[in-house]
Structure 1
Amino acid sequence: MSLISDNLQAVLDDIWATEQRFDRPSKSVRLLAVSKTFGAEAILEAAQHGQTAFGENYLQEALEKITLMQSNAPELHLEWHFIGPIQSNKTKPIAEHFDWVHSVDREKIAVRLSEQRPATMADLNICLQVNISGEESKSGVSPEDVVALALKISALPRIRLRGLMAVPEPTSDVAQQRLAFRHLRELSEKIVAQGISLDTLSMGMSSDLHAAIAEGSTMVRIGTAIFGSRNYAK
């Protein structure tokens, strides 16, 4: 087996063991393989071993890989998730090429994605990014404003609000990790109480996936544990 396939299986085993540990239903947590900065060959290797959902942060890089994979391995039917910050001038290619967007944090972006989603495609799945720890350096709607934003976005055509995403302030304190993820889950419950159906909590990365799963994550975003260390040099 290859290194990527070994790593992929180890991550999946860890997720499934953590589900059991915290009495979560079996395979209730999806793995989103974060493939930013890694080439199409790495994605192909993971896909050939069963991984279908891939997360990308950088639009131009992602579009090149999506095109390559659709041309060279169309039988794989991969699912593409945009998880990076979104500028207004980038919404059209995101709306046209991705299946999910995890990083919507304002109404303007959601409206543009709605207007620019091709009618021939399935509705674009949306998660609202919440700045759960209140960090000035991070994107995301404030916890106080997320319910109102969800109500507005849920009414837009051609997009489907699925849930919430967060990247909490890093900490090695598991209790603090769980507190942040619990807060996100409770915000999701407030939105559901307004009559909006949600099914996704995109939370948890390599350093805090156990705390995230314990608090109800349905999708964890894992990159280096699968693909190895990143080289950001361009």
Structure 2
Amino acid sequence: MNKQDINENLEKLHQRIHNACVKVNRVAQEIRLIPVTKTKSADIIQMAIESGVHHVGENKVQELISKAEQLQDKNLEWILIGHLQSNKVKKIIQYIQEFHALDSIKLAGKLDKELKCIDKKLDVFIQVNTSNEASKYGISPKQLTDFLGEMQQFAQLNVVGLMTLALHTQQEQQIRQCFQLLKKLLDESRTRYPNLSRLSMGMSGDFEIAIEEGATDIRFGQAIFGHRTLPDEYYWPEQGKK
């Protein structure tokens, strides 16, 4: 993997995003491509920066911290997209600008408390389990209204959107239903919480469907940086839990 490969992969993705948007009368500027750099070295991320990347997503706390410290002079924004344990909150908050997997009020309280200590606010996405799989993280769709109400007590957290991982299947309609449900939940919630405007959903294998259903933030890993040596279950443990 070199800079030219990354450039070409990014160009191909931007074209596919554009085509998907045209299909449903959206504009590509509405879509934020989030390069996911799990398992990739700081040197690879440096190439991505030179290709115009300004923000990246990471799943693992320690991996994010290590890379952020190596690239601290690059003005790069870091997005934590994986599950976060409460005991790692204090370690991570100084490094991240966004968190895309908030799934408990307890965790929100811990984040709020630690953010107050460093006088920082954080944009967060609430993870919703739209596939209703017991093996996945995220609150149930029925919990969202109450969850949003409880979130109002945390002044340091800006709830800007919802996130979901679609059902892992080849059945397009089942994938689409997950995304449609998240969009419906967003539309219903915005009447009370107008700042709630973003949908983090879709990855390399299903992002065109996600765009058709309203996605604004899409994660791309292997489509930009090539295959990983570790299986997805290592970075998305909810896919491997039983």
Contact kept, 8 Å, 2:17 with 2:28, in 1: the verdict is no
Candidates 167, 172, 175, aligned match of 1:174: 172
Residue of structure 2 in register with 1:13 after alignment: 15
Match in the other structure for 2:129: 131
- With over 3 angstroms needed to count, the CA separation of the structure-2 counterparts of 1:93 and 1:210, relative to structure 1, is same
Determine the structure 1 residue equivalent to 2:239. Answer: none
Deviation at 1:166, TM superposition (A): 0.3
Moved more, 216-225 or 9-18: 9-18
AA aligned to 2:134 is: E
User: Residue 55 of structure 1 corresponds to which residue in structure 2?
Assistant: 57
Maintained 8 Å contact 1:104/1:128: yes
**Cross-structure match for 1:141:** 139
User: Any gaps of 5 or more consecutive residues in structure 2?
Assistant: 235-242
Alignment of 1:1-234 (within 5 A): 2-70=4-72, 74=73, 76-117=74-115, 122-232=120-230
Contact residue 96 and residue 116 of structure 1 kept, 8 A: no
2:240 is matched with none
Across the aligned residues of Structure 1 and Structure 2, the Cα RMSD in angstroms comes to 1.7
In structure 1, stretches of 5+ residues that fail to align are: none
* Secondary structure class of the residue paired with 2:127: strand
Q: 1:62 to 1:213 in 2, by over 3 A?
A: same
Shift in Å, 1:125: 0.5
Deviation at 1:118, TM superposition (A): 5.2
3-state secondary structure, aligned to 1:85? coil
User: Quick one: structure 1 residues 89 and 122, their matched pair in 2 at CA, closer, same or farther if it must change by over 3 Å?
Assistant: closer
Deviations 1:31-50 (A, max 9, x none): 01111111111111111111
1:68 Cα offset (Å): 0.5
Question: What is the rounded CA distance, in whole Å, between the counterparts of 1:196 and 1:124 in structure 2?
Answer: 17
**Which whole-Å deviations, capped at 9, do the CAs of 1:172-213 have from their partners, x for residues lacking one?**
232222211010011112221223421210000011101100
Q: Is the CA contact (8 Å cut-off) linking 1:95 and 1:118 kept in structure 2?
A: no
The answer (yes or no) to whether the contact 2:190–2:197 under 8 Å persists in 1 is: no
Residue 122 of structure 1: CA displacement?
4.7
- Distance of aligned partners of 1:36 and 1:118 in 2 relative to their CA distance in 1, 3 Å threshold: farther
Q: State the TM-score, normalizing by the size of structure 2.
A: 0.90
In structure 2, the CA distance between the partners of 1:95 and 1:197, relative to structure 1 (3 Å rule), is same
Structure 1 counterpart SS, 2:110: helix
SS at match of 1:221: strand
Deviation for aligned residue 1:120: 5.5
Question: Post-superposition, which runs of at least 4 consecutive aligned residues in structure 1 deviate over 3 A?
Answer: 118-122
Distance 1:33 1:222 in 2: 5
Secondary structure of 1:169's partner? coil
Q: Distance in 1 between matches of 2:193 and 2:88?
A: 31
- Percent identity reads 33
- SS of aligned partner of 1:126: strand
Please state whether the residue corresponding to 2:94 is helix, strand or coil.
helix
TM-score, normalization: structure 1? 0.93
